[in-house]
Chain A
Amino acid sequence: MLTSPLFHHYALAPRTWDEMYDEEKVRFQYRNIFEFLQRIPPDELSKKEELAKKLFMSQGITFTVYSSGEGIEKIFPFDIIPRIITATEWNFIEKGIKQRLRALNLFLKDVYHHQFILKDGVVPVELVYSCPHYLREMQGFNIPHDIYVHIAGIDLIRDHDGTFYVLEDNLRTPSGVSYMIENREITKRIFPDLIPQNFVRPVTQYPNILYKNLLALSPRQVSAPTVVVLTPGIYNSAYFEHATLARLMGIELVEGRDLVVENHIVYMKTTAGLQQVDVIYRRVDDEYLDPLVFEPSSVLGVSGLLSAYRKGNVAIVNSIGNGVADDKATYVYVPEMIRYYLNEEPILKNVPTYQLSNEDEREHVLKNINQMVVKKTNESGGYGMLMGHAASDEEITAYQKQIIRNPRQFIAQPVISLSSAPCYINGKVQPRRVDLRPFALCGPTGIEIVAGGLTRVALKEGSLVVNSSQGGGSKDTWVLAK
């Protein structure tokens, strides 16, 4: 096949699954876009890249970085070539995530009630009680419909043979869904007609499903419950997302200072006095949510919120204390949870994970640290991570000391290569590593997953870290209908 010079620099990494190429052949799901890219003059793509940047800027899809008192608007880097998932792959992912989420919700209910899973010795008791995100305040408290996780972002990666693995469960306040929606809008602008030609499933219904679920949680039986999005404010790097979701659902975006609790009822301060709030989709972390119960210096939260929640006067989404289920040390036990609660075999695999609190496993990891990724159990966003194959001897020694001092805080995984997908970088199409975060919505009527998600991409050559704080970007993610 004749190839355009665009593709001359596409160097496949060894032992890596490429989303577009199967050896020399282009996979069928990429054939359309591959041919499209063959026909297009190379400088045309640079123009499209420029247009995408301009659109992000002019629509204010940005976050502000504050340095020396002045804010600078930044774009979350966007790669113009979509990442494509086939209908078969998607069916598998969808089934797997639904199963996992069902088990995780049951686990949270169990941990905060009878703790059967601990008593049966399936999950060690120490693991739960030593987790900083396990909140005694939630013990024995019944929440509406027993749903703890209403919104989950499950991170998936693919090993060299294409198998999907779950890398992380994000069950607290997962972010990135606005990029799933906005990236699609940008693609519509820069590649006219391409989406209908490829039978790409839509993602625009996400806010509608979310809103429907939020409404269903209202503790008051009124015709129009007040649902709000609670944001930490405009200085938060995900503020754009909070504002977008509120706008797309047509509900109020509030900050902690807009709310007040009186007599265990939450109100918002309006120009016409106080108005009762029924459902809060909060994007403020547990520890800042209520200064009376958690971090006392927090100005982002609302005093008395937890008591209103416990009285059942307000619904909070996601529920509080979910961190015990997405802790990286708990992660190891999710396959066991699925077997224990559902009596099913896990559909999606876990990445093999060593727990450093276990002596044998610690020994093994310390010996083979060059082939390991070591992570802190309670950190996210790619912080506090050691990539064994790339770290210097000093870094490794320092890290080993930390591990020995507090092994519970660490887990280790063998380096998984992550699949690569075509990206347009410096005027050439080149492979870069990607992951996938679909967003699952869990409501009283069941779990729904919008066909799509956030594909994060490590834009640095050879890098395996896709987090935006570590130089990662994102792509539009297409799920094909056929």
Chain B
Amino acid sequence: MTQYYLQQLINGLMLGSLYALVAIGFSMIYGIVRLINFAHGDVVMIGAFATLALVGAGTPWLLVAPVVLLTGVLAGITIERAVFRPIRGAPQVTGFIATLALSVMIENGGVMLLSPQPRNFLFPDVMRTRVPIGPATVSLTDLVIIATTLILVGVLVLVVRRTRPGMAMRATAENLAVARLMGIDVNRTIMAAFALGSALAAIAGLLWGGRFGQIDPLMGFAPGLKAFVACVIGGVGSIPGAMIGGYLLGLGEVLFVGLLPPEYSGYRDAFVFATLILVLLVLPNGLLGRSEEERA
């Protein structure tokens, strides 16, 4: 019995970690430009495919992670320059449509160039060892995912709270015009936020691919949308909120599937979005978010 519950808990934490990684990046971007980056989920896909390519080319695993991070950084910077900067200052809906278009382009571009067939990639065998925790065992992969997330988030929080560029990001997110009056180069600061957020998404892609074994060009859409739900739950624009939202969503999804009879497990995605609508109605600022007049 304990094995089952422990496994479910770990599943929830593992899924929550993946959601949190994507959600935090999403929240950083939203916080600084006030636009939903629809293409954020596709950076997850880019990270997964980058991993596939690197592994296929024989790169040692220790080198793969940093290169994937770099890929994320590049993707984020490109997205910012190509789509977000030209429409800065345009109404919210224009931004939404533009990033939706970007997402469609990336996804279909992927289908066009890479074929819609799912590919497999696997973590090295060592990841499948089971680690004993108390009376039960847990897969090393899951532990690595949770640990990586906590470490990366910890690093990110340090960067945002303790460094000068981090302070610039917080200032720019709060008030872009006044940040400029402080002499902050807001273009560079925004680009940095995109870079950091996308790096996290790319790593999430690496972890996702390794954990679930299959990747395809359209895989980014669901995580992207669920990251948005996680952000809404935790409070959009708040990094700790995104993390909490991610874990709550992950645990909630696993709980939902675990508690209800198996006929209902197909409803898990519907459950996620029903939660989104519920949260938007009841707690419009999420758990930790700032108040935004544009909500309702």
Bound pair: A and B?
no
| Interface residues, chain B, with chain A CB atoms under 8 Å away | none
| Interface residues, chain A, with chain B CB atoms under 8 Å away | none
